[in-house]
């Protein structure tokens, strides 16, 4: 047997074993006959064992409750910044509840332009250390990408038309391939004990809105779908990244919106998500969450995919008891795998309570509710 044949055989055996693990996992979670279990088809048919196990974990979580996540949780918070004292891992969530979130959100915007830090001034070396630390603790990692506009050089919110320029045949294609290579190099560097850390990757989100160059009036659905597919092929096939789960996450649906308008197809998406924020209108927010998550749930069930509340929050959290009386009731029985709130930048721009916040006590109550899973809860699921 040649070396190539041995490698092929080993990969084949690994994939069979991994699918068997998922089948057993789903069987134990659902309590149904094995022959009724439909094996999920991941975007990456050669996904690493750890990545397949992460997907199985997300399935299990959705049966127990939902994992609670926070963007940049250990990168910075109110009155502290990891880069100023990298010997101590801090977290506003942990300061309030005594536990870390179960899901840790990071953003790699500006990796594409070869900066040493991201658009929120988090050094990429520090981000790598924090991702490894979170994974070592048992946490789940999700990464978004607020890429700069490849045509104008502006930020993600620069609405200069750009997608036609970076898909195949576009005049900025070479630049985009360079950008993706930098993304791939960073993701490939995320390893623990010599193995690639599984990552939930959520690029080009909120595409049904027009605030980013890749969405809404700035990009038609056909070009968006092409961009998504080509990006997957570059990451998976050209750069051989096999530790990614891909998330499709539109923004809150307007009456004229169709959730699947920009959908690249089941073969290119692992997880369905949606982003909905409360803009100081709790009743409207609750109605939107109930309505939109019902749509996501129905589609995810039909497609046999995990789904999540991929981004949410109320800036400054001025509504009293927001976590227990606004957020929790509308997601308690939704079936989502996780919910992620945005970052804590300062006293005007934050989405999790900090010590002394008006909703500190409410958040402590939220952490103790039956369906909320923080880091310790997540680790206990595995015991």
5 and 102 part of one domain: no
- Find the helix packing angle between 3-30 and 49-64, rounded to 10°: 10
The count of structural domains within the chain is 2
198 and 257 part of one domain: yes
- How far apart are the C-alpha atoms of 196 and 67, rounded to whole Å? 22
For 312-324, how does the pLDDT look when each residue is reduced to its tens digit (9 = 90+)? 999 999 999 999 9
Residues in a beta bridge with 61: none
- In percent, the amount of the chain with pLDDT more than 90 equals 88
217 and 349 part of one domain: yes
**In which domain, by residue range, is 69 found?**
45-381
**pLDDT band for position 2 (cuts 50, 70, 90):** very low
73 and 34 part of one domain: no
Whether residue 27 is predicted with pLDDT greater than 60 in this model: the reply is no
69 and 170 part of one domain: yes
197 and 329 part of one domain: yes
For 258-276, how does the pLDDT look when each residue is reduced to its tens digit (9 = 90+)? 999 999 999 999 999 999 9
- In percent, the amount of the chain with pLDDT more than 70 equals 89
For 120-143, how does the pLDDT look when each residue is reduced to its tens digit (9 = 90+)? 999 999 999 999 999 999 999 999
Whether residue 32 is predicted with pLDDT greater than 90 in this model: the reply is no
C-alpha of 325 from chain center: 25
Measured distance between the N- and C-terminal CA atoms of the chain, rounded to whole angstroms: 41
165 and 239 part of one domain: yes
Tally of CB atoms within 10 A around 376: 15
**pLDDT band for position 3 (cuts 50, 70, 90):** very low
Whether residue 69 is predicted with pLDDT greater than 50 in this model: the reply is yes
Q: Are 76 and 345 in contact (CB under 8 A)?
A: yes
Whether residue 355 is predicted with pLDDT greater than 60 in this model: the reply is yes
pTM summary value: 0.91
**pLDDT band for position 38 (cuts 50, 70, 90):** low
2 and 53 part of one domain: no
262 and 155 part of one domain: yes
Q: Give residue 258's pLDDT.
A: 94
CATH number at residue 222: 3.20.20.80
Q: Give residue 256's pLDDT.
A: 86
Mean pLDDT of the chain, nearest integer:
92
Average pLDDT value for residue range 40-51: 95
361 and 298 part of one domain: yes
190 and 175 part of one domain: yes
Q: Give residue 77's pLDDT.
A: 98
Average pLDDT value for residue range 160-181: 98
Q: Are 55 and 306 in contact (CB under 8 A)?
A: yes
81 and 187 part of one domain: yes
């Amino acid at each position: 047997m040649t070396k190539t044949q041995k490698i092929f055989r080993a990969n084949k055996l690994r994939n069979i074993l991994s699918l068997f693990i998922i089948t057993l996992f789903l069987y134990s979670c659902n309590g149904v006959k094995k022959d009724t279990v439909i094996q999920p088809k991941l975007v990456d048919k050669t996904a690493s064992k750890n990545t397949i196990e992460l997907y199985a974990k997300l399935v299990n979580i959705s049966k127990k409750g939902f994992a609670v996540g926070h963007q940049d949780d250990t990168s910075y918070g109110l009155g502290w910044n990891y880069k100023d004292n990298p010997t101590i891992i801090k977290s506003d969530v942990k300061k309030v509840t005594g536990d870390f979130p179960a899901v840790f959100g990071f953003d790699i915007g500006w990796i594409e332009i070869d900066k040493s830090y991201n658009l929120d001034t988090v050094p990429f070396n520090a981000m790598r250390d924090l991702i490894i630390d979170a994974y070592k603790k048992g946490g789940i990692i999700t990464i978004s990408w607020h890429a700069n506009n490849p045509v104008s050089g502006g930020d993600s919110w620069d609405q200069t038309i750009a997608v036609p320029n970076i898909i195949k045949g576009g005049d900025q294609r070479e630049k985009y391939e360079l950008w993706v290579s930098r993304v791939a190099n960073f993701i490939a560097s995320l390893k623990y004990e010599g193995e690639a850390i599984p990552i939930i990757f959520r690029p080009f989100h909120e595409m049904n809105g027009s605030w980013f160059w890749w969405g809404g009036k700035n990009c038609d659905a056909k070009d968006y779908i092409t961009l998504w597919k080509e990006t997957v092929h570059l990451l998976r096939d050209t750069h051989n990244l096999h530790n990614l789960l891909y998330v499709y996450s539109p923004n809150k649906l307007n009456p004229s919106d169709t959730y699947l308008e920009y959908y690249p197809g089941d073969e290119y998406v692992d997880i369905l998500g949606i982003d909905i924020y409360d803009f100081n209108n709790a009743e409207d927010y609750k109605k939107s969450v109930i309505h939109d998550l019902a749509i996501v749930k129905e589609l995810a069930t039909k497609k046999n995919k995990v789904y999540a509340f991929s981004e949410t929050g109320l800036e400054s959290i001025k509504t009293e008891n927001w976590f227990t009386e606004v957020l929790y009731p509308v997601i308690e029985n939704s079936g989502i795998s996780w919910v992620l709130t945005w970052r804590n930048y300062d006293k005007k721009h934050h989405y999790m309570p900090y010590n002394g916040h008006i909703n500190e006590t409410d958040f402590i109550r939220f952490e103790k509710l039956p369906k909320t899973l923080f880091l310790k809860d997540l680790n206990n699921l595995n015991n």
